[in-house]
């Protein structure tokens, strides 16, 4: 599992920035607070359990979106390279997001 970590403040800032031009939406601050509380209560314990099993890779989502995407793609490449089906998938979609770094790794399998 790839877990994008971001502070509540940064997540709220990004969300509000995205919706600021939508006129028909009421103030979303309370909605954001409730969603954050629900995530902390219901999802974080699941993530913590998966971390104990070494099944979580964290990516700092405070970075720019391009950097986050690059890191996530590298993680998924490693997972996909573990199987023939994954290698075929990467071969067919290697231009996705302009990432082709798996080719050097692929030859060593």
Q: State the Cα–Cα distance between residues 67 and 85, nearest whole angstrom.
A: 27
0.75 exceeded by the pTM? no
C-alpha 95: how far from chain center: 19
Secondary structure element (H or E) that encloses residue 57, with its range? strand 57-60
Q: Stretch 63-85: mean pLDDT, rounded?
A: 87
- pLDDT at residue number 79: 85
109 compared with 11, residue with greater pLDDT = 11
DSSP 62: T
Instruction: Say how far residue 71 (Cα) sits from the centre of its chain.
Output: 9
Tell me the per-residue pLDDT of 12-40, one tens digit each, with 9 for 90 and over.
888 888 777 776 666 777 888 888 899 99
């Amino acid at each position: 599992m790839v877990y994008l970590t971001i502070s509540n403040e940064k997540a709220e800032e990004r969300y509000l920035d995205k919706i600021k031009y939508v006129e028909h939406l009421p103030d979303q601050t309370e909605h954001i607070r409730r969603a954050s509380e629900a995530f902390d209560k219901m999802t974080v314990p699941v993530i913590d359990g998966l971390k104990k099993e070494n099944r979580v890779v964290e990516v700092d989502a405070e970075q720019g979106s391009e950097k986050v995407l690059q890191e996530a793609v590298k993680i998924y490449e490693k997972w996909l390279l573990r199987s023939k089906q994954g290698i075929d998938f990467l071969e067919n979609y290697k231009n996705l997001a302009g990432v082709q770094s798996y080719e050097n790794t692929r030859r060593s399998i």
